[in-house]
Structure 1
Amino acid sequence: MKPDSAPSERLTSEPLNLLPQYRQKWLQFAWSTESIDQATAIEAIDAMYGRAKLEPPQIEFCANPLELRERVEFYLERDPEGLRQPWYYLLYSCWSEIRKRLDRPLWTNLYEHMGGELFDDLSQQLRDPLEKQLQRQWGTISHELGLHWHRGLEATLWEVMQYPTWLISNGALIDFCVTELGYTWQEEDWLIERGNTCDQEQWPLMQTIAAQVGWVVPLKQMCWVCDRPHKWAFDSAGQLHGQREPAIEYSGGFQVYAYHGLWLDDRFRKKPPSQWQPIWLCSRPNPPYERMIIQEIGYARLCQEYKIKIVDTWQNHTLLWFPLGGGRKVYLLKTVDEATGTNQYVEVPALTSVRAAIAWVNEQTGKE
């Protein structure tokens, strides 16, 4: 992969201003709600296996991630290929062979020609934020699937099912470098010796797999493709979010509920925040959930309906605390506005007197 001129000379502010467009372009591939075109997927998967010197697999299409997980687990338990290999080896080895001949050579060529400093700089601006955003979404889906990173087969599936998101984030950076910086695929002896060979068909195939096939789990003789959801819902920050409705919805009844990127369990799904219970704060420690509950219920309602303990009072101020799970506490300075009679609340550290709490608040706000 070689540019017409040195990368440092071509990397002006003009192409850099286009980075958000490429991030959004490839996010749209990940967020598509169009059903997978099975003919296109079969053709691309056969080509992908061919590059890895594997025979075309039997391909099964799944309506949603839960169906995909169940089919993969059932297949591995039966071991129909008679390989008698550990399931983690079967899952990792096929993807490893495919990526060795699909995106990794493109990635390595790009790094070698651009140089580490420029490559890392572009990665930090384009690839890394995209990958983090997609991984947060995958984390929300994996909660719904009940996959846990530390549990045997579940841990392997948890990782393998992330691979397609890496193709999206890698693809965005390669797309930018090819389109805006003029990189083209060229064979060079010193790269061939390292096994980092590329050809004109490699990049279009990677684009097709990432953008039109999407979520795929390959084994040597079998490959599963998950259809896309027919609904995504986000907040203004691009985080998964639905108010009493699914943030992600697939065919077959698979739904994911989320609150500003945080996966929701059954307690929160279809109840408005006005019906959330302060007592939920005493369940097992979970800071993100605790912050969500406190933010939605509000300090005023917590102080009315929850078990609070007064630490100190002085004039129109009260220092109090309420409990969280695991024996932790949240301290508040409550102040009654003398003109309106309304209550104002400020969260403060674990202090023992109102005056100390007032001094801390004044220090934080710059007041005398």
Structure 2
Amino acid sequence: MSQIQFLTLEQEFLIDTYKKKWKKICLSTQPIEKIRAKAAVKGAYAVMGQQEPEVIFCTSPKSALEKIQAFTSNEETSQKNVGFSQEDIRKNFLWFFLKTACHIIQLNRKQKQSGTGPILELLTEVSKKPTNQLKNHIKNKLPKDLTTQDIVEQAFLGSSPLFDALGKQMALGGDPSLSKNLQGLQPENWQQSFSVTAAAVETQLAWLPGKKFLFRSWLVKMLQGTLIAKISGIEHPQLQEAFLCSLSSEEQKIVLENPLTITSDLGFNCSWLDFAISVLNYPHLSKKWAALQVLANHCGWIFAMDNVCIVCDRPTKILLDEANQLHGEGEPALQFADGFTIYAHHGTPLPKHYGNIHPNQWQAQWILDEKNTNLKKVLMQTIGAVRLCQELSLFEVDTQNNYTLFKIENSGPKETYILRKTRLGSDKIHAVFIPWHIKSLQSAMQYVSNHYSQEDFPITNN
């Protein structure tokens, strides 16, 4: 069954226009205009029927946190953490359980009552009508007599743009074999998989009453999400995650209690909403949609608590890789006017002592000293298997002819393996990472043969 088209060719053609429009807004590094930003915040609160907040401006989210700390310290006495042993927790488990549950409830209540509540509710309300309209549009377009195989097939075909984008991110992040697998999932190669998957679903869920209705509902929901992702784009820089990783545990707690709104995140949602309203002519709440657009256009990062709204200026520098992930080589990927910086490598946040050194100068020894598993992985993939073979003393698992399987000790919770090939009479070597569960030389060679080209890693029969 061919892929069902939910948009016309003309509508498909316009998607890129709206993605570019809002990407430019989201990644702007121009200083905000305080008068417009203040009016945007107050307009958003007013259209939601909320009391007008006091608007305070800061140069960066870090300086905003300092102001929030000052507010909270004036309003309440800080609670100091008391250390408890495992024996204390074991003897008083019920008390600790109830205390933790109460803390989670209080945190959820505080988040809902926080100053940014009206902004998040504004986005939710503006999104509701267009999203429901898209759901109904998909329902009406789907044939009534879809089989289980048809449903599986449409699910895979609808997800293909997501596989492409994920494959690109994997390639840039240093995982070429998985990237090739994802990008190699072409629709014309899926027919057999559809039949096998559909047959398995039919067999395993034969007992389930009304399963066709459930499958169809699931497909509608899945297609709705993937179509919105296609229009708004899925390659978004994870600014909030990178910011949180740069903070101490106490600062992270403050952000959880006073949820941060990054207007660039609002902008990516606006990309889909703008398309739905302007191109698809979906019904919407016009005043609230106008307020949301003004907010996304004229504000930077927003913190709010009670009746105070802290608006941060935009970053002065944003560096991204080809997959639109934060990425700086020997320099900050994100920088603010007051000097606050965030380092990242293809979307993975880095501490300054790695980030301010160009990846070409990263040292193999750092892998053995690093405690963080994610950072170990970034270091290994970036430094590369060839350099690790040359610069580290690796444990030799097995060798045959000019192939050797190595293991890196102290490389994380799962062992890291490298297959190396040396060329007789030459200093040139080939080396690639092997999945941790492949522990024999022959299995490693078979894996490389299946996942790498002869140019990347030549495997001979002798």
The alpha-carbon distance between structure 1 residues 40 and 323, as it changes in their structure 2 partners (threshold 3 A), is: same
Aligned partner of 1:110 in structure 2 is: 130
Cα deviation 1:149-174 (Å, max 9, x = unaligned): 9x6434334xx214645532332222
The residue aligned with 2:246 is 144
What is the match of residue 303 of structure 1? 389
Would the aligned equivalents of 1:87 and 1:153 in 2 still touch at CA under 8 Å?
no
Instruction: Tell me which of 95, 105, 114 is aligned to 2:116.
Output: 95
Tell me the equivalent position of 2:445. 358
2:58 to 48, 51, 62: 62
**Does the 8 A contact of 2:385 with 2:433 survive in 1?**
no
SS at match of 1:201: helix
Say yes or no: does 1:241 pair with 2:306.
no
Distance 1:313 1:217, change over 3 A: closer
**Corresponding residue SS for 1:242:** coil
Amino acid at match of 1:43: A
Deviations along 1:323-346, one digit per CA (max 9) or x if unpaired, are 234464322222221253422223
2:150 alignment partner in structure 1: none
Please state how far the C-alpha of 1:247 moved relative to its aligned partner.
Answer: 1.1
Residues 29 and 344 from structure 1, CA distance in 2 versus in 1: closer, same or farther, beyond 3 angstroms?
A: same
Kept after mapping to 2: 8 A contact 1:246/1:256: yes
8 A Cα contact 2:233 2:268, kept in partner: yes
Instruction: Structure 1 unaligned segments of length 5 or more: list them.
Output: 1-7, 81-85, 186-197
Preserved CA contact (<8 Å) 2:395 2:408: yes
How far the C-alpha of 1:74 sits from its partner, in A, is 2.2
TM-score by length of 2: 0.64
> AA paired with 1:140?
A
Q: CA deviation at 1:15?
A: 0.9
Matches within 5 A, 1:53-202: 53-79=49-75, 89-93=109-113, 94-100=115-121, 102-116=122-136, 118=138, 121=223, 123-127=225-229, 130=232, 133-134=235-236, 136-146=238-248, 152-157=253-258, 160-162=259-261, 164-185=263-284, 198=285, 200-202=286-288
Q: How does 1:257-276 map to 2 (within 5 A)?
A: 257-276=343-362
Partner of 1:213: 299
**Bigger shift: 350-359 or 48-57?**
350-359
Task: State the match for 1:252 in structure 2.
Answer: 338
Counting only pairs closer than 5 Å after superposition, residues 10-21 of structure 1 correspond to structure 2 as 11-21=7-17
Task: Please state how far the C-alpha of 1:266 moved relative to its aligned partner.
Answer: 2.5
Note closer, same or farther for the CA distance 1:31–1:148 as it changes in structure 2 (3 Å cut): farther
Separation in 2 of the partners of 1:15 and 1:182? Answer: 11
1:292 matches 2:378 = yes
Q: Distance in 2 between matches of 1:356 and 1:9?
A: 43
TM superposition score normalised by structure 1 = 0.79
* Identical amino acids, percent of aligned pairs: 24
1:83 maps to which residue?
Answer: none
Task: Give the secondary structure class of the aligned counterpart of 1:347.
Answer: strand
Q: Any conservation in 2 of the 1:57–1:222 contact (CA below 8 Å)? A: yes
Is the 8 Å Cα contact of residues 235 and 260 (structure 1) preserved in structure 2?
A: yes
Tell me the secondary structure at the aligned position of residue 332 of structure 1.
Answer: strand
Residues 329-348 of structure 1 mapped to structure 2, 5 A cutoff: 329-338=415-424, 340-348=426-434
The superposition leaves residues 303-325 of structure 1 with CA deviations (integer Å, 9 ceiling, x where unpaired) of 23212112223322222222234
Distance in 1 (CA, whole Å) between partners of 2:120 and 2:449 is 57
Q: What RMSD over aligned residues (CA atoms) do the two structures have, in Å?
A: 3.3
Q: Secondary structure at the match of 1:208?
A: helix
Unmatched tracts of structure 2, length 5 or more = 77-105, 139-219, 454-458
1:32 equivalenced with 2:28 (yes/no) = yes
CA deviations over 1:188-228 (Å, ceiling 9, x no partner): xxxxxxxxxx3x42221110011212322233421110110
State the shift of 1:268 in Å.
1.0
